[in-house]
Structure 1
Amino acid sequence: MNIQKAKPEDHICLTEITKKSKAYWGYSEEQIEKWSNNLTITIEYIQNNDVFNLVEESKIIGYYSYLKQENNQIKLDNLFLLPKYIGKGFGVFLMNDFLQRMRNEKYEKIILDSEPNAEQFYQKIGFKKIGEFETSIKNRFMPIMEMNL
């Protein structure tokens, strides 16, 4: 198992992982389709951002991506795994790689908008909830979280 920089041609695989991972939390196919634009990873996204794949036996099983922001801050934009790998330590493996990369690059703060079902995962890693916003689904709120490095 290793982490590799994503290539533009990975975009279809990463989109599939994103949609399957999101559906893991019980969202209907109809809801996933409504979110399709937000869950699609494009060639341009990979070319213009930092995207890293988790690879096991030459197969991409998950990935993370981040966006550089002002004030020495990073936004974790995506962290997704194929459903059969959720809850088995692979997410922690991805997060540890991401956090080490951010420390090596001397960033001071990480922010993210968490899937509500993943909030506890991020809290266990050390993120704190600093706010929330309502999503397109009534009474569903996305936690805004941060971690100081």
Structure 2
Amino acid sequence: MTIEKAISDDHQILTEITKKSKAYWGYSEEQIENWTQFLTVTPAYIDANAVYKLTLENKLAGYYSFLFEDEKTVKLDNLFVLPEYIGKGLGKILMRHFLLEMNKTSVNKIILNSEPNAELFYAKLGFVKTGQIETSIKDRFMPIMELNIKSE
């Protein structure tokens, strides 16, 4: 297993992982299609942001990406694994890698907008829900979560 920076040529497989992972939660093909602009990872996105991919047995199995809000706050923008690896610990491995990367910086707070079905995953890692965002689906809300990683 390796975790390394993604390259722009990875954009199609990262988009495929994102869509398959999202569909795992029971969203219809039509809904996934409606979200295409939000679920697409472009070469420009990879070039402009920190994107790390996890390869397992010569297969790209997951990734995460983040962007800096300011010098003390980072947003975990994406964390997705292929459905066959959900619940098998790869998400935790990616999070551990991400937190180690953050420990090399001056960041003391991580924020994210969680897939509602992944809220418990993030809560188990210490993230706290601080709000929510209404989505395009009636009565569906994305939790806004944060984790303080260093005291000032």
TM range (shorter): over 0.9
Asked whether the equivalents of residues 71 and 106 of structure 2 are also in contact (C-alpha less than 8 Å), the reply is: no
Equivalent residue number for residue 143 of structure 1: 143
Letter in 2 for 1:138: K
What is the aligned length?
Answer: 149
Listed one character per residue, the Cα deviations across residues 4-61 of structure 1 (whole Å, up to 9, x for unaligned) are 1000000000000000000000000000000001000000000000000011122210
Unaligned runs of 5+ in 2: none
1:17-32 alignment to 2 at 5 Å?
Answer: 17-32=17-32
Residues 40/132 of structure 1: CA separation in 2 closer, same or farther (3 Å cut): same
DSSP-derived class of the 2:44 partner: helix
Question: Residues 70-111 of structure 1: CA distance to partner in whole angstroms, max 9, x if unpaired?
Answer: 251000000000000000111000000001110122310000
Q: Secondary structure at the match of 2:98?
A: helix
**Secondary structure at the counterpart of residue 62 of structure 1:** strand
**In the aligned structure 1, how far is the partner of 2:129 from the partner of 2:147?**
9
Structure 1 length normalisation: TM-score?
Answer: 0.98
1:65 aligns with 2:59: no
Q: 1:51 maps to which residue?
A: 51
1:1-149 aligned at under 5 Å gives the runs 1-149=1-149
Aligned identity (percent) is 61
CA distance in structure 1 between the partners assigned to 2:106 and 2:49 by the alignment: 18
- Work out the CA distance in 2 between the residues paired with 1:9 and 1:53: 12
User: TM-score, length-normalised on structure 2?
Assistant: 0.96
Structure 1 runs, 4 residues or longer, greater than 4 Å off:
none
